[in-house]
Amino acid sequence: MKVFGLTGGVGMGKSAAAQLLRARGVRVADTDDLAREVVEPGQPALAQVQAAFGAEIVGPDGRLRRDELAQRVFAEPAARQRLEGILHPRIRTRWRAQVEGWRAKGQHLAVVVIPLLFETGAEAELGATICVACSTATQHQRLLARGWPLQEMEQRIRAQWPIEVKMARADYLVWTEGDLEVHEAQIERILSLPQK
């Protein structure tokens, strides 16, 4: 089974790429979704996050107050590292299990979407890597359209490696400045190439 890792900067098109892949019938494990699952009420990771960041990080409904946590961890690198230490091993276990399940069912292709793919060394477990990227100006426009304050945008961007580094390390690049048809055509071409 071919297993691609897909990464890119925040607001550069990872979610759009995942939607395009799913529409083609490709199995996609999205680590952003898995990150939400591991902190659902009753999950051990939620208790650990609460112990690390304080009781007020969980709301009266028993759910993680994601905005409050994001404000803390993106403002302080040490806090972000503490959170990643709690979440990343659990997320990796889940996407590995999804990939193995698809392999056992005879699937031929899967993609794992990992924003911090290179930062976490996950490329060593994947057949090839794809980076989705766009210009900084387009990235900022997209994040502003989502209603992100400028400070939050800058903190999130700084929390990842520079996009130029990710582009240089990836096996394939999808440039997302154009419309979705152009985006899709690039993905189609990559998936149709013979793999090493």
What's the domain range around 12? 2-192
pLDDT tens-digit series, residues 65-78: 999 999 899 889 99
Name the nearest CA neighbour of 133 among 73, 85, 173, 97. Answer: 173
Q: Which two tokens stand for residue 165?
A: 């580094």
Mean pLDDT of 16-26: 95
DSSP β-ladder status, 2-8 and 172-175: unpaired
pLDDT tens-digit series, residues 110-145: 999 999 999 999 999 999 999 999 999 999 999 999
CA-CA distances (angstroms) from residue 135 to 38, 77, 127, 132, 179? 32, 25, 27, 11, 14
State the amino acid at position 9 in one-letter form.
G
Percent with pLDDT over 90 in the chain? 88
pLDDT tens-digit series, residues 141-158: 999 999 988 888 998 999
Chain centroid to CA 140: 18
Give Cβ neighbours of residue 46 (< 8 Å, ≥ 6 apart): 38, 39, 40, 58, 64
Domain count, the chain: 1
Residue 63 in this model has a pLDDT that exceeds 60: yes
The CATH number covering residue 73 comes to 3.40.50.300
Residue 43 in this model has a pLDDT that exceeds 80: yes
Residue-level pLDDT at 75: 87
The structure's pTM equals 0.93
Taken in order 94, 98, 100, 104, is the CA torsion positive or negative?
positive
